[in-house]
Amino acid sequence: MPIDEYDVIIIGAGIVGVCTAFELSKKGYKTLNIDKNPAVGYGSTSSSCAVIRTFYSTNDASALAYEGWHYWTNWADYVGEINQNDLVTYHDTGCLIYKTQSNNYLSNVGPIMDAIGCPYENLTADQIKQRLPIINTSRYEPVRQVEDDGFAEPTGPELAGGIYFPVGGYISNPQQATNNVKDAVIANGGQFKLNSEVVEIIQQDDRVAGVTLKDGSQIHAPIVINISGPHSGKINALAGKGGNTLIKTRPCRQEVASLKAPDGFDYEHEGPLCADDDVGTYSRPETGNHMLIGTVQPPCDQIDWADADDFDANISEQLTTQVMRQAQRYTDLQIPASINGIVALYDVSDDWNPIYDKSDLAGYYMAIGTSGNQFKNAPLAGKIMTQIIENCEAGNDHDENPTSMELTNIGWTLPLSTFSRNRKVNKDSSFSVLG
């Protein structure tokens, strides 16, 4: 096959793009991932907290996440016989979310977990303290700005408790996870073209025909998939009617802090992932007994929408705010004069749930709106996109008769219309990174 002709061009080489190439290459497709970055997993994937959790606001989203957990716990089986000494490690920490007024005291979470068969445990505030002795279980909701009156002053005697999920953890090196899958793609004949920017979606006879790169070269394929993360909106704009969606995506600037965990507790090995609507943060352990701290976008904070090619990559006061909020929960947290952290972009849809779908242009597909909460689902996203593509290319109309996918590890049938580009906004969403 000539170098400029492929079965599938995938725009993007983050974790979802590479997993999609893996699934397609296993089916015999000749794939090419194109990315403007110098390495796979270099963009928003490398900045991901790479959290593996199972709770979402709907049965189907939670089922997908629970199915995905099985892939991370059996990573060597997923990527196959590549360099088994270089594989990432899944850190099995469990996950704890707190019951608050703003999340309706998690009243819907138990029924969802029961429906998909995912284990969980309701905990009282005292039981939370037994598991996490460094915690302060005072209530602080509603979330405030640091300069607001009453910040760090309890608004109630104690948290209403929480839900603990033994199924949950994280990947410490998300870019290396992407490299693991890249090796598997190459073993199946897939190729990568990095440091290359797509400037045109070529169309012929009302169908996609390939892409034009910034250097003027053209690469041809009858199938093109937009998996370009925060650049997904710009790529869709190149696709004409192929970029038409009722659900929109746009880049959202995010900051995540990293600092030493409180002394006297082995937080790296015994601390769980935490989602805390009461103080407006999420956190997870990190190697070296550190803690990563992000935001769940509380109502008092403005979302920082950005341009994927022109955004402020410098740490701001927002990072300090997140750490100060976290210090309400961990009163022994030592806040350094200079806080380390990263600034990156999420690709966010209107309801913070992804689009995995065909388009109005034959041969043009999209896996977008994924940043922030879909790292965990990347292996399944690849399978979803492969199934949608094969269904459509066989002549079926995924809009009129959407296909479904069997989640074999948990025994769940997932309707892929859940991820339609033209769905109604999920009003049950948290409208945050929690989905």
**The domain containing residue 265 runs over which residues?**
91-169+250-349
Q: What is the pLDDT of residues 103-158, one digit of tens each?
A: 999 999 999 999 999 999 999 999 999 999 999 999 999 999 999 999 999 998 89
Instruction: Report how far residue 335's alpha carbon sits from residue 320's, in angstroms, rounded to the nearest whole number.
Output: 9
* Better-scored residue on pLDDT, 435 or 431: 431
Residue 372 lies in a domain: yes
pLDDT at 71 over 80: yes
Longest dimension (CA), the chain: 69
The predicted pLDDT at position 429 comes to 73
pLDDT at 356 over 90: yes
- Name residue 367's beta-bridge partners: 356
**b (16+ CB within 10 A) / e for 105-127:** ebeebeebbeebebebeebebee
Residue 260 lies in a domain: yes
Check whether the bond before 142 is cis (ω within 30° of 0): yes
pLDDT at 3 over 60: no
The predicted pLDDT at position 432 comes to 66
What DSSP string runs through 74-93? THHHHH-SS-GGG---EEE-
pLDDT (mean) for 62-76: 96
Q: What is the pLDDT of residues 330-343, one digit of tens each?
A: 999 999 989 999 99
| Alpha-carbon distances of 45 from 17, 75, 429, rounded to whole Å | 10, 17, 23
Same domain? For 197 and 326 the reply is no
Residue 326 lies in a domain: yes
CATH number (domain holding residue 343): 3.30.9.10
Q: Is 166 exposed, middle or buried (0-12, 13-18, 19+ CB in 10 A)?
A: middle
The predicted pLDDT at position 434 comes to 60
Instruction: Report how far residue 327's alpha carbon sits from residue 330's, in angstroms, rounded to the nearest whole number.
Output: 5
Residue 260 near residue 289, CB atoms below 8 Å: yes
pTM score: 0.96
Same domain? For 153 and 104 the reply is yes
Question: For residue 60, what are its two tokens?
Answer: 């189907």
Instruction: Report how far residue 360's alpha carbon sits from residue 268's, in angstroms, rounded to the nearest whole number.
Output: 47
The predicted pLDDT at position 372 comes to 75
The predicted pLDDT at position 373 comes to 82
Residue 327 near residue 135, CB atoms below 8 Å: no
Residue 78: CA atoms inside 13 Å, Cβ hemisphere, count? 25
Same domain? For 264 and 406 the reply is no
Same domain? For 222 and 270 the reply is no
Residue 108 near residue 58, CB atoms below 8 Å: no
Residue 12 near residue 229, CB atoms below 8 Å: yes
Residue 21 lies in a domain: yes
The predicted pLDDT at position 1 comes to 37
CA dihedral 93, 257, 58, 329 (to 10 degrees): 70
Strand residue runs (E) in 297-407: 340-349, 355-357, 364-368, 404-407
Same domain? For 78 and 194 the reply is yes
3-class DSSP state of 274: strand
Same domain? For 46 and 179 the reply is yes
Check whether the bond before 285 is cis (ω within 30° of 0): no
Q: What is the pLDDT of residues 191-200, one digit of tens each?
A: 999 999 999 9
48: nearest Cα among 227, 175, 181: 175
What percent of the chain has a predicted confidence (pLDDT) above 90?
A: 92
CATH number (domain holding residue 55): 3.50.50.60
What percent of the chain has a predicted confidence (pLDDT) above 70?
A: 98
pLDDT (mean) for 78-100: 90
Same domain? For 149 and 269 the reply is yes
Residue 432 lies in a domain: no
CA dihedral 380, 178, 39, 369 (to 10 degrees): 30
Q: What is the pLDDT of residues 265-288, one digit of tens each?
A: 999 999 999 999 999 999 999 999
Same domain? For 261 and 339 the reply is yes
Residue 88 near residue 142, CB atoms below 8 Å: no
Residue 234 lies in a domain: yes
Same domain? For 180 and 202 the reply is yes
Same domain? For 244 and 258 the reply is no
3-class DSSP state of 130: helix
The predicted pLDDT at position 428 comes to 75
> Where among 334, 349, 364 does a domain terminate?
349
Residue 430 lies in a domain: no
pLDDT (mean) for 10-21: 98
Count of H helices and E strands in the chain? Answer: 10, 22
> Where among 325, 349, 373 does a domain terminate?
349
3-class DSSP state of 407: strand
Same domain? For 165 and 178 the reply is no
Same domain? For 332 and 273 the reply is yes
Residue 174 near residue 50, CB atoms below 8 Å: yes
pLDDT at 30 over 70: yes
Residue 435 lies in a domain: no
Instruction: Report how far residue 83's alpha carbon sits from residue 75's, in angstroms, rounded to the nearest whole number.
Output: 12
The predicted pLDDT at position 2 comes to 40
The predicted pLDDT at position 435 comes to 55
Q: Tell me which H or E stretch contains 179.
A: helix 174-187
Domain count, the chain: 2
Can you give the length of the chain in residues?
435
